[in-house]
Structure 1
């Protein structure tokens, strides 16, 4: 019997709540709507509260209730996880009611909404960049606020998210064996985030990229790349002493020096062969030049002989031999 009575009481309560909500949604009485809306807000029924608050701005315009409606609406959207909308509403509140004692809280909540709207690092980070800007704006406007310490922590967290995304993007080049692109991209990460906590890991992958690029390089670029990689290994050892990364740098540095010594032998042999080949080419060119010079001399002599013969033939034609003289007997 008690069970049925409890169910009956619960049904009556639910029915009365539903009836009150329906009445408020159909009512034109701002005081009644506001009362029910605030009750729903207090009971954390955000969807019901928002439905009622949305009916109130025109009804309470010009009254003292307007700021409260705007403030509660923003908070209801925040708790309902409508972060973008809530952020805009908090920002509008701070702008519309500059004298309201809740202005700082509204500015803080606006920045916090942008923070909550930041997506995971592997997704689009435009919201994260906007959140950092909004949080920084709060710090600039309220540098002495008790909330500033929390804001600073949030900025650091979001900045790290951007750093990690850039780090993972650059790492993909390394995984694909695009070592030159990996080194350049990681250098860009260090330039964009000079205070990054990922610097040791970035140094490590840049060094490994330079190592792979050097030892597998073509002949013409190998010496330069070996020297560059070896210098970077020394840099990592110096900047990260007594760490796992310095140990890796020392190991790779030793391998690079050994590779440099081997390549120096190859390079010397190549230079020797190159010099011998150039000498042969030069000797062959000299012989070919002698042949051409001798042929030119013969050709010149032949031309001169031909010219002399032509001159003689021309002289005979221009000076014919005298005709024979006949003698008659007397």
Structure 2
């Protein structure tokens, strides 16, 4: 009997609450709606509270209740994990009520909402960038605030997320064997994040990219790339002494130096064959020139003979036949 009585009382309470919520949603009474909304907020029923707060802005505009409605609505969205909406509401609060003593709290929570809305590194990072900007703005405006103590830590955490995303994107080039693109992409990461904690790993992959690019390079670029890779190996070894990265760099440096020796022999052989080929070409050209000169001489002689014959023929034509001579008797 007690069990049924308890269930009946619970049903009455739930029905009463639902009825009150329904009445508030249909009511035009500002005070009643605000009362029920605040009760729902206190009971952490965020969806119900938000539904009622959404009906109040026009009803409380210009009254003392307006700041509380905006502030509580922002908090309800924050607790309900509607971070983007909550961030906008907290920011609007600081703009709409600049004299309210909760302005600093609202500014902090606006930045914190952006932080909470930051997605995993492999997803879109526009929220992360906005969060860094908002957190930095709060730090600039309230440098002595108690709330500022963890701001730098939050900014570092978000910055690392951006660094790691850029790092992973660059790493994809290396995995695909696009070593030149990988080197450029990682150099850009170092330029964009000069204080990155990933610098040792980036150095290591850049070196490996330069090594692969050098040893598998085309002939005309190989010497230059071998020299560049060896120089970078020395740089890594010097910048990261007594580390596994330095050990790897030293091993690759040795391999690169061996490759340079092998390539020097290849170059020597290539130059030798090139010289032999050029000598053959030069000899062939000389023989060809000699033949051409002989042909020109023969042609000249033929031309001279033809010209001489032409002159003779012309002389015959132009010389008149001798006339008949008559002798008279005396």
**When the two structures are superposed, what TM-score results if normalisation uses the length of structure 1?**
0.96
Listed as ranges, the matches of 1:282-301 within 5 Å are 282-301=282-301
Unaligned runs of 5+ in 1: none
Q: 2:117 and 2:134 mapped to 1: Cα distance?
A: 12
Q: Aligned Cα RMSD in Å?
A: 1.6
State the SS of the aligned residue for 2:312: helix
In structure 2, how many angstroms separate the alpha carbons of the residues matched to 1:145 and 1:307?
A: 112
| Count of aligned residue pairs for this structure pair | 330
Q: Could you tell me how far apart the structure 2 residues matched to 1:315 and 1:141 are?
A: 116
Output the CA distance in 2 between the equivalents of 1:61 and 1:229.
Answer: 68
Equivalent residue for 2:81?
81
User: Which position in structure 1 is the counterpart of 2:169?
Assistant: 169
How far residue 9 of structure 1 moved from its aligned partner, in angstroms, is 2.1
Distance (whole Å) between structure 2 residues aligned to residue 233 and residue 243 of structure 1? 13
In 2, distance between residues paired with 1:5 and 1:69? 39
SS of 1:81's equivalent in the other structure is coil
**In structure 1, the residue corresponding to 2:144 is in which secondary structure?**
coil
Spell out, residue by residue over 1:142-179, the C-alpha distance to the aligned partner (whole angstroms, 9 max, x if none): 11111222221111111111111111111111111111
- In the TM superposition, structure 1's runs of 4+ consecutive aligned residues that sit over 6 Å from their partners are 326-330
1:90 aligns with 2:90: yes
Per the TM alignment, residue 327 of structure 1 is displaced from its structure 2 partner at its CA by: 7.2
Partner SS, residue 146 of structure 2: coil
Residue 252 (structure 1) aligns with: 252
2:203 matched residue in structure 1: 203
Matched ranges for 1:230-245 at <5 A = 230-245=230-245
Query: How many angstroms does 1:300 deviate by?
Result: 1.1
Cα distance in 1 for residues equivalent to 2:149 and 2:298: 99
**1:99 to partner: Cα distance:** 0.7
Q: Which runs of 5+ in 2 are unaligned?
A: none
Match of 1:213?
213
Matches of 2:192 and 2:293 in 1, distance apart?
A: 67
3-state SS in 2 of match to 1:143: coil
**Superposed displacement of residue 328, structure 1:** 9.6
TM-score (norm. length: structure 2): 0.96
Give the superposition deviation at 1:252: 0.7
Q: Deviations over 1:24-56 (max 9, x none)?
A: 222222222111111110110001101111111
Q: Do structure 1's residue 4 and structure 2's residue 4 form an aligned pair?
A: yes
2:160 maps to 160
1:66 paired residue number: 66
Which residue is equivalent to 1:224?
A: 224
**C-alpha distance in 2 between matches for 1:3 and 1:283:** 117
Partner secondary structure for residue 147 of structure 1: helix
